[in-house]
Chains A and B, each alone.
Chain A
Amino acid sequence: MATLEIRDLHVSVDTENGPKQILRGVDLTIAGGQTHAIMGPNGSGKSTLAYSIAGHPKYNVTSGTVTLDGEDVLDMSVDERARAGLFLAMQYPVEVPGVSVANFLRTAKTAIDGEAPKLRTWVKDVNKALADLDMDADFGTRNVNEGFSGGEKKRHEIVQLELLNPKVAILDETDSGLDIDALRIVSEGVNRFAGQGDKGVLLITHYTRILRYIKPDFVHVFVDGRVAEEGGPELAEELEANGYERFLKAGAK
Chain B
Amino acid sequence: MSSSDTLVATGNKAHSHGPGSPVPLQARSERPTSYDVADFAVPNGREEEWRFTPVRQLKALFEDAAGTETPKVDASGPEGVVFETVAADSLKVGKPQDRSAAVAWNHAGDAFAVRIPVEAELTEPVHVNVASLGARGFSHLIIESGRHSKAIVIIDHSGSGELGSNVEIVVGDGSDLRVVSIQQGDHESIHLGQHDAVVGRDAKLHHVAVTLGGKIVRIGTNVRYAGPGGDAELLGVYFAEGGQHHENRLFVDHEATNCKSNVLYKGALAGDHARSVWIGDVLIRAAAEGTDTFELNRNLVLTDGARADSVPNLEIETGEIEGAGHASATGRFDDEQLFYLQARGIPEDAARRLVVSGFFNDIIGKIGVPEVTEHLHEVIEEKLARAAELSTSAKAVIGQ
Q: Is the CB of A77 within 8 A of B344?
A: no
Say yes or no: A82-B340 contact (C-beta < 8 A), given A111-B350, A143-B358. Answer: no
User: Which B357-383 residues sit within 8 Å CB-CB of chain A?
Assistant: 357-362
B387 to A: closest C-beta gap in Å: 18
User: Which A77-108 residues sit within 8 Å CB-CB of chain B?
Assistant: 77-79, 81-83, 87-88, 90, 93-99, 103-104, 107-108
6 A-B interface contacts by CB (under 8 A): A82-B342, A88-B343, A94-B336, A97-B359, A99-B355, A99-B361
State in angstroms the CA–CA spacing of A57 and B346 once bound together.
Answer: 16
Instruction: Say whether B19 faces chain A, with CB atoms less than 8 Å apart.
Output: no
Say yes or no: A82-B345 contact (C-beta < 8 A), given A56-B339, A94-B339. Answer: yes
Q: Is the CB of A57 within 8 A of B335?
A: yes
B313 to A: closest C-beta gap in Å: 26
Q: Is the interface of B mostly helix, strand, loop or mixed?
A: helix
State in angstroms the CA–CA spacing of A164 and B346 once bound together.
Answer: 12
Give a binary string over A157-179; 1 marks a CB under 8 Å from any B CB, 0 the rest.
Answer: 00010001000000000000000
State in angstroms the CA–CA spacing of A94 and B341 once bound together.
Answer: 9
State in angstroms the CA–CA spacing of A55 and B341 once bound together.
Answer: 12
B103 to A: closest C-beta gap in Å: 40
User: Which A46-95 residues sit within 8 Å CB-CB of chain B?
Assistant: 54-57, 77-79, 81-83, 87-88, 90, 93-95
Q: Is the CB of B358 within 8 A of A78?
A: no
Please, which residues of chain A bring their CB within 8 A of the CB of B359? Answer: 97-98
Instruction: Say whether A112 faces chain B, with CB atoms less than 8 Å apart.
Output: yes
Instruction: Say whether B45 faces chain A, with CB atoms less than 8 Å apart.
Output: no
User: Which B162-193 residues sit within 8 Å CB-CB of chain A?
Assistant: none
Give B346's nearest chain A residue, CB to CB.
A111
Interface residues of A (CB under 8 A from B): 54-57, 77-79, 81-83, 87-88, 90, 93-99, 103-104, 107-108, 111-112, 143-144, 160, 164
Query: Counting chain B CB atoms within 10 Å of each CB, which of A87, A94, A144 scores highest?
Result: A94
Number of B residues contacting the other chain (C-beta, 8 Å)?
24
Q: Is the CB of A104 within 8 A of B341?
A: yes
Give a binary string over B330-356; 1 marks a CB under 8 Å from any A CB, 0 the rest.
Answer: 000011110111111111101100110
Q: Please pick, from B348, B350, B358, the residue contacting A77 in the complex, using a CB distance under 8 A.
A: B348
Query: Counting chain B CB atoms within 10 Å of each CB, which of A55, A78, A90, A94 scores highest?
Result: A78
Please, which residues of chain B bring their CB within 8 A of the CB of A56? Answer: 339
Please, which residues of chain A bring their CB within 8 A of the CB of B346? Answer: 79, 107-108, 111
Please, which residues of chain A bring their CB within 8 A of the CB of B337? Answer: 94-96
Q: Is the CB of B342 within 8 A of A98?
A: no
Q: Is the CB of B354 within 8 A of A78?
A: no
Q: Is the CB of A77 within 8 A of B342?
A: yes
Q: Is the CB of B361 within 8 A of A98?
A: yes
Q: Is the CB of B358 within 8 A of A97?
A: yes
Q: Is the CB of B336 within 8 A of A160?
A: no
State in angstroms the CA–CA spacing of A81 and B335 once bound together.
Answer: 17
Q: Is the CB of B355 within 8 A of A78?
A: no
Interface residues of B (CB under 8 A from A): 334-337, 339-348, 350-351, 354-355, 357-362
Give A96's nearest chain B residue, CB to CB.
B337
Q: Is the CB of A99 within 8 A of B354?
A: yes
State in angstroms the CA–CA spacing of A88 and B355 once bound together.
Answer: 20
Give B365's nearest chain A residue, CB to CB.
A98
Q: Please pick, from B345, B358, B360, the residue contacting A111 in the complex, using a CB distance under 8 A.
A: B345
B188 to A: closest C-beta gap in Å: 33
State in angstroms the CA–CA spacing of A108 and B340 once bound together.
Answer: 11
Q: Please pick, from B334, B336, B348, B354, the residue contacting A79 in the complex, using a CB distance under 8 A.
A: B348
State in angstroms the CA–CA spacing of A78 and B339 once bound together.
Answer: 7
State in angstroms the CA–CA spacing of A55 and B345 once bound together.
Answer: 12
State in angstroms the CA–CA spacing of A143 and B358 once bound together.
Answer: 9
Q: Is the CB of A90 within 8 A of B340?
A: yes
State in angstroms the CA–CA spacing of A213 and B344 once bound together.
Answer: 26
Q: Is the CB of B358 within 8 A of A160?
A: no
Q: Is the CB of A98 within 8 A of B344?
A: no
Q: Is the CB of A160 within 8 A of B361?
A: no
The 6 closest A-B pairs by CB, nearest first: A98-B358, A98-B361, A82-B345, A78-B342, A108-B344, A111-B345
Q: Is the CB of B340 within 8 A of A99?
A: no
State in angstroms the CA–CA spacing of A111 and B347 once bound together.
Answer: 8
State in angstroms the CA–CA spacing of A86 and B337 once bound together.
Answer: 18
Please, which residues of chain B bring their CB within 8 A of the CB of A112? Answer: 344-345
Please, which residues of chain B bring their CB within 8 A of the CB of A98? Answer: 357-362
Q: Please pick, from B344, B357, B362, the residue contacting A82 in the complex, using a CB distance under 8 A.
A: B344
State in angstroms the CA–CA spacing of A104 and B354 once bound together.
Answer: 9
Q: Is the CB of B343 within 8 A of A54?
A: yes
Q: Is the CB of A107 within 8 A of B354?
A: yes
B377 to A: closest C-beta gap in Å: 13
Query: Counting chain B CB atoms within 10 Å of each CB, which of A56, A57, A77, A99 scores highest?
Result: A99
Please, which residues of chain B bring their CB within 8 A of the CB of A111? Answer: 344-347, 350
State in angstroms the CA–CA spacing of A147 and B351 once bound together.
Answer: 21
Give A83's nearest chain B residue, CB to CB.
B345
Known: A94-B334, A108-B345, A111-B346. 15 other contacts (CB 8 A): A55-B343, A77-B342, A78-B342, A79-B348, A83-B345, A88-B343, A94-B340, A96-B340, A96-B358, A97-B358, A98-B358, A99-B354, A104-B344, A111-B350, A144-B340
State in angstroms the CA–CA spacing of A144 and B359 once bound together.
Answer: 12
State in angstroms the CA–CA spacing of A96 and B337 once bound together.
Answer: 6
Please, which residues of chain B bring their CB within 8 A of the CB of A164? Answer: 344-345
B332 to A: closest C-beta gap in Å: 14
Q: Is the CB of A96 within 8 A of B344?
A: no
Please, which residues of chain B bring their CB within 8 A of the CB of A88? Answer: 343
Query: Counting chain B CB atoms within 10 Å of each CB, which of A90, A93, A98 scores highest?
Result: A98
Please, which residues of chain A bring their CB within 8 A of the CB of B360? Answer: 98
Q: Is the CB of B347 within 8 A of A79?
A: yes
State in angstroms the CA–CA spacing of A56 and B347 once bound together.
Answer: 14
